[in-house]
Amino acid sequence: MNSIFKRWLLPYLWITLASAVYALGFCWCYDPNQIGFGGITGVGQILNHFFPILPIGTVVIVLNVPLFLLGWRLLGGHLLVSSLYAMLISSAFIDVINLFFTFEPMEPLLACIFGGVAMGGSLGVVFLQGATTGGTDLIARLAKLRLAWLPMGKLLLGIDLVVIVAVALAFRSLYSAMYGVVALYISSLVMDGVLYGLDNAKVAYIISDSYQQITDAIIHDIDRGVTILQGVGAWSGAEKKVLLVAFKQRQIVALKRTVKEIDPAAFLIVCEAHEVLGDGFREYKQNDI
C-alpha cells in the first residue's frame, strides 16, 4: 500500500498542489496587471481580452486537445495521463479563482518577481512528477526528446517569447511585453533551480604529492568516493596523481579543510556539477529531464 501511495497517489498530490500555486500566480500577479504570459495560457489571455465571455481556463483546455493527441504518439501513456490531469486541474483552478476572487493590480515589478517565482516553482514541481501543464510546456517536453542537452527552462523561454509579444500587441502595450520577459526569465531560472539545482553538487580536482593520505581521508572522513587519474606536468614533465571527487555542496568546507590540513601546498580546483548520477547521488530515470 505504501509503494502504491508513493508511486501513484503522491505524484498527483504534488501536481494538484503545484497546479493550485500555478493558477494563483497567474490570477494574482499576471492577469490583473496585464503582464504578457507565454504559452497557451497567453493565447487564452488574448482571446479573453477580446471576448471576455471566454474563460481563460476553458480556452486553455480546448487549445490543448491537438497537442495532447500529438504527445500521445510521441511520449507515451503515463506522461500524457499525468499531463492531462495537470492541465485540467490548473485550468480549472484558474477559472474557479477568477470566479470567486477579483485581484487588484499591484506594482508590476512585484508582480513579475512573485509571479515568476510562483509559476517557475510550480512548473518545476509538475515536471519533477513526470507531467506538464500542456501547451508550450508539452511542446518543450516534446522538443526535449531532440534537444536533450537544453535545460527545460531555457526551452520554455524561447518558445514563450513569441506568445508574450502577441499578448503585448493585443493589449497594445510595450510594457506588457517587457514585464512579461522579466517574469518569464525569473520563471525559467526558478524552474531550472527546482529541476536541477536541488541536485546541486560540485567536482574537485586535487593535485598533491600526499594524494594517498588525502584519498584515505576523503573516503573515511567525508564518505565520498575518489577516482585517481594519471597526469603529467607540462612544464616539469613529472608524473602527477590527480584526484577526482564529486561531492555535495554542504561538504565543500570539510573537503577544503581536509586537503589543506594534509598538504597546504595542494593544488585544488572546485567546479560546479549540475547533475551527478550514481551511488550517493541521483539515480537515472527513463524520460529524465
pLDDT tens digits, 148-175: 666 766 677 777 787 888 877 888 888 8
- pLDDT tens per residue across span 6-56: 667 888 899 999 999 999 999 999 888 888 877 787 888 888 888 888 888
Percent of the residues in the chain that have a pLDDT greater than 70, as a whole number: 81
Task: Report phi then psi at 105, rounded to 5.
Answer: -60, 145
Using alpha carbons, select from 87, 86, 83, 94 the residue that is nearest to residue 29.
Answer: 94
Is residue 228 situated within a structural domain?
yes
Which one of 198, 213, 235 terminates a domain? 198
- Tell whether 20 and 128 lie within a shared domain: yes
CATH number for the domain including 208?
3.30.70.120
The string of pLDDT tens digits covering residues 201-210 is: 889 999 999 9
Residue 123's domain comprises 2-198
Q: What amino acid occupies position 219? A: I
- Considering the domain architecture, whether residues 172 and 252 belong to the same structural domain is answered as no
Euclidean distance between CA atoms 259 and 262, whole angstroms: 5
Query: Do 32 and 101 reside in the same domain of the chain?
Result: yes
Q: What is the pLDDT of residues 278-287, one digit of tens each?
A: 666 666 555 5
- Grid-cell match 497557451, residue found: 40
Whether residue 289 is contained in a domain is answered as no
State residue 21's pLDDT score: 95
| Beta strands, E only, the chain | 201-207, 227-232, 239-248, 267-273
The answer to whether 115 touches 25, Cβ cutoff 8 Å, is: yes
- Tell me the residue type at 120: G
Return d(Cα 129, Cα 127) in angstroms, integer: 5
SS3 of residue 32 by DSSP? coil
Q: Which residue has the cell 526558478?
A: 190
Is the predicted pLDDT of residue 199 greater than 60, yes or no?
Answer: no
Residue 236 is assigned to a structural domain of this protein? yes
Radius of gyration of the chain (CA): 24
Calculate the average pLDDT of the chain: 82
Q: Residue 288 falls within a domain, yes or no?
A: no
Sheet holding 267-273: strands in order across? Answer: 227-232, 239-248, 201-207, 267-273
Q: Do 93 and 170 share a domain, yes or no?
A: yes
Q: Are residues 232 and 186 in the same domain?
A: no
Give the residue from 175, 198, 221 where a domain finishes. Answer: 198
The number of folded domains in the chain is 2
Same domain, 55 and 128: yes
Asked if residue 137 and residue 243 are part of one domain, the reply reads no
**90 in the same domain as 21:** yes
pLDDT at residue number 54: 85
Phi, psi of 269 (to 5 degrees): -120, 130
Statement to judge: residues 94 and 150 lie in one domain: yes
Q: Is 119 helix (H, G, I), strand (E, B) or coil?
A: helix
Q: What does the pLDDT read at residue 46?
A: 84
Q: How far is CA 194 from CA 17, 49, 71, 119, 127, in A?
A: 15, 32, 24, 12, 9
Residues 79 and 212 in one domain: no
Could you tell me if residue 54 is inside a domain?
yes
The answer on pLDDT for 289 being more than 60 is: no
